[in-house]
Structure 1
Amino acid sequence: MTPLRVVLAEDAVLLREGLVGILERAGHEIVAAVGDADALQAYVRRERPDVVITDVRMPPTFTDEGLRAAVAIRDEQPGVAVMVLSAYVAEAYVAELLDGDGAGVGYLLKDRVSHVREFLDSLSRVADGGTVVDPEVVRLLLRRRREDGPLAALTDREREVLALMAEGRTNGSIAERLFVSEAAVRKHVGAIFAKLPLDPASDRRVSAVLAYLRG
């Protein structure tokens, strides 16, 4: 795992210190660990970390300060990867965070942090330019997806594959999860790319995931 320079924003002291411990034990450098969005943005501007990890709700109003800071950071420094942690499945937050090309962005529920290896793997994928969305968020979006949107042309199996792609899984991991061959997964992925309106300027896998999440 490549060591990363991290700026962390979380107002709950115990969770913040817990995250610092997890990240440091994994070999990452904590450039700053702060409790509000203003400090987060200040440290990111000054230190230019590899990745930002931020809560959604922080002082003073405990509404969406962390999210707005994440969006501002993406606008100002697109090269900085952003991992948002939330206690809730909030579709509006996902849509706003993924506005643009979606590369180097993650949205995880805080419960996922208890699965340390999954959390660290997701962080690495985001830092490498991937898009990682919590499986629970993916399931919720799948239940609410309109049948007349761009996904209507996909088969049930192709939707399954795309949902797993949205979780940040590789073709090999998807094959293991669905108990099919990796060649079969590649075939489904190719069909997904052919059927969805993808952004030619973006990585096709990322663009397909964004088409899925935006419906």
Structure 2
Amino acid sequence: MTTAVLADDSLLLRGGLKLLLERHGITVAADVGDAEQLLAAVAEHRPDVAIVDIRMPPTFSVEGVRAALSVRRNHPGVGVLLLSQHLEHREALALLQQPGGGIGYLLKDRITDIAAFTGHVREVAAAGTAIDPIVVQRLLRRPRAADGLGVLSPREREIVARMAAGRSNAGIAADLHLAERTVEAHVRSIFTRLHLVDEPQTHRRVLAVLSYLAT
């Protein structure tokens, strides 16, 4: 059973989201309206995932993402899924560069499929990633070092972008009209090019996404 803590300053949105999640089998241990209450709720309930609005009181700037980063530091086993109406480049990278999995960044206005959304929540709770493709596209357009551009082939960059969006190898194969074995070969090549070693304490798929976005 997946458990979640919600943090959003909008009481109506928070209530609707809680109802939606619980109807789809996700237990909401607490729903709160600001960053301070979020940190207290995570410490008390130790949920599988914290679902956090980026802009919360008192300044409605980036309190949410700062609280999310604090959750990652103090409770590394808790996944963090950011929800926002805005794309915050710097704050997105600050979260995505955190070690380990359990990271998500979705844009509220682009959530149109409830089953897909609850799937993303479970993915982040299970130490995976769920990043809106628009977020990925914007981050991939950022200026980067020449050696960062040359590390991966164009096809490998396509695959990394879909990995960041939470797509499985089978999903990527369907998107790009490739055989799943071909995608698996590209993923192995990506790991090699990014010097990602297979170790029990690491999630190479997540590290591949973060390494590429951070270059």
Is TM > 0.5 for Structure 1 vs Structure 2?
A: yes
Segment drifting more, 15-24 vs 113-122: 113-122
1:108-123 to structure 2, matched below 5 A, reads 108-123=106-121
Contact 1:113 1:119 in 2 (8 A): yes
Q: Cα distance, 1:147 vs. partner?
A: 5.4
Matched to 1:22, the amino acid is L
Taking the aligned partners of 2:185 and 2:143, their CA distance within structure 1 comes to 23
Question: SS of 1:176's equivalent?
Answer: helix
**Any stretches of 5+ residues in structure 2 without a counterpart?**
none
Q: Cα distance, 1:95 vs. partner?
A: 1.4
Q: Cα distance, 1:198 vs. partner?
A: 2.9
Tell me what 1:178 maps to.
176
Q: Cα distance, 1:35 vs. partner?
A: 1.0
Contact 2:2 2:27 in 1 (8 A): yes
Matched to 1:173, the amino acid is G
Contact 2:97 2:214 in 1 (8 A): no
Tell me what 2:166 maps to.
168
Identical aligned residues as a percent: 47
Q: Cα distance, 1:98 vs. partner?
A: 2.3
Tell me what 2:18 maps to.
20
Contact 2:131 2:165 in 1 (8 A): yes
2:209 is the counterpart of 1:204: no
> 1:213 and 1:102, CA in 2 relative to 1: closer, same or farther beyond 3 A?
farther
Tell me what 1:64 maps to.
62
Segment drifting more, 81-90 vs 166-175: 81-90
**Any stretches of 5+ residues in structure 1 without a counterpart?**
none
Matched to 1:214, the amino acid is A
Aligned-residue CA RMSD in angstroms?
A: 1.5
Tell me what 1:125 maps to.
123
Matched to 1:76, the amino acid is N
Aligned length: 213
Question: SS of 1:144's equivalent?
Answer: coil
Note the alpha carbon deviations across 1:67-116, whole angstroms, 9 max, x for none.
Answer: 11111111111111111111111111111112331411111111243321
Q: Cα distance, 1:145 vs. partner?
A: 4.5
Question: SS of 2:92's equivalent?
Answer: helix
Tell me the TM-score normalized by structure 2: 0.93
Question: SS of 2:122's equivalent?
Answer: helix
Contact 2:100 2:203 in 1 (8 A): no
Taking the aligned partners of 1:102 and 1:86, their CA distance within structure 2 comes to 22
Q: Cα distance, 1:51 vs. partner?
A: 1.0
Tell me what 1:107 maps to.
105
2:92 is the counterpart of 1:88: no
Tell me what 1:51 maps to.
49
Tell me what 2:139 maps to.
141
Tell me what 2:6 maps to.
8
